[in-house]
A and B are shown apart, each in its own frame.
Chain A
Amino acid sequence: AQSVAQPEDQVNVAEGNPLTVKCTYSVSGNPYLFWYVQYPNRGLQFLLKYITGDNLVKGSYGFEAEFNKSQTSFHLKKPSALVSDSALYFCAVRDESGGYQKVTFGTGTKLQVIP
C-alpha cells in the first residue's frame, strides 16, 4: 500500500540556520512527490514537486527538496530559515500510474523558527 511518513511532529530551528523537514514514502511504482505548506487558518499551498529529472527540486520561497530513490526520501530543505517560515508542512505522494484519487498525504510537521 502507498504511504508517506513524516517522522517529526515538530521541528525547531533558529532563524538563519538551515532547516530540514523529513519525508519518506512507499509506492509500488515511480513516485510523484509534493510538498505543501499550511499557515494557520489557511488552506494548503503548493511549494514544489518531483515528477522526473534532476533529484534536487527548487520551489517557492527559497525551499528545495532532494529526491533520494535508494532511501525513498524527499526531504524539504532551506539554507537559511526565516521566522515567517513557521507553519505546518505536508509531504504527499502518488504512484505514477495512479490518478489524483491515490494521492496520500503525510500527517504534517510543524516548523517553528525561533528568532
Chain B
Amino acid sequence: DAEITQSPRHKITETGRQVTLACHQTWNHNNMFWYRQDLGHGLRLIHYSYGVQDTNKGEVSDGYSVSRSNTEDLPLTLESAASSQTSVYFCASSRGTTGELFFGEGSRLTVL
C-alpha cells in the first residue's frame, strides 16, 4: 500500500544545532506540505511544494527550509534550532486540486 513516512519519530536536540526531518511518500503525489502542531493553534503550514524544484513559504516559515529534488521526498531543515521550534511536525501530501491531505505519523522534536 502507498504511504507517507516520517523520520525520526522522536528527536531531542540542542539550541543552535541543525536538524533535518525526513518525509517520504509513495503515493506519487505532486503536492507535499509540512505543518507543525501546537496546543491551542491547531496545524500551521510551514512550507509546501507543488512539484519537483518547487518550494513555497507557508504561514510560519521563519527558521525552516525545504528542498524538493524528487517527487517522493520533502525534507524539512531547521538551520539553527530554537526552543520555540519544539513541536510535533507533520508531513502531508495530496493529489489534484480538491483532494484531501494524507498525513504522516508525525515527528516530535524537542529543542533544549
Contact = CB atoms under 8 A, between A and B. Distances in A.
A and B interact physically: yes
A105 B94 contact: no
Interface residues of A, number: 21
Contacts of A42: 105-106
Interface in A35-67: 36, 41-46, 49, 51
A44 B101 contact: yes
A44 B103 contact: yes
Contact of B100 (A4, A43, A49): A49
Interface stretch (B11-19, B38-46, B62-70, B73-81): B38-46
Interface in B79-112: 90, 92, 94, 97-98, 100-106
B48 A105 contact: no
A101 B58 contact: yes
A15 B92 CA distance: 32
Interface in A1-49: 4, 32, 34, 36, 41-46, 49
Interface of B: 4, 31, 33, 40-45, 48, 50, 56, 58, 90, 92, 94, 97-98, 100-106
Given A43-B104, A43-B106, A49-B100, 19 more contacts: A4-B42, A32-B98, A34-B100, A41-B105, A41-B106, A43-B4, A43-B92, A43-B105, A44-B90, A45-B103, A46-B100, A99-B97, A100-B33, A100-B101, A101-B56, A107-B40, A107-B41, A107-B42, A108-B42
Chain A to chain B: the 9 pairs with minimum beta-carbon distance, closest first: A43-B103, A46-B100, A105-B42, A105-B43, A107-B42, A44-B103, A43-B105, A43-B104, A51-B98
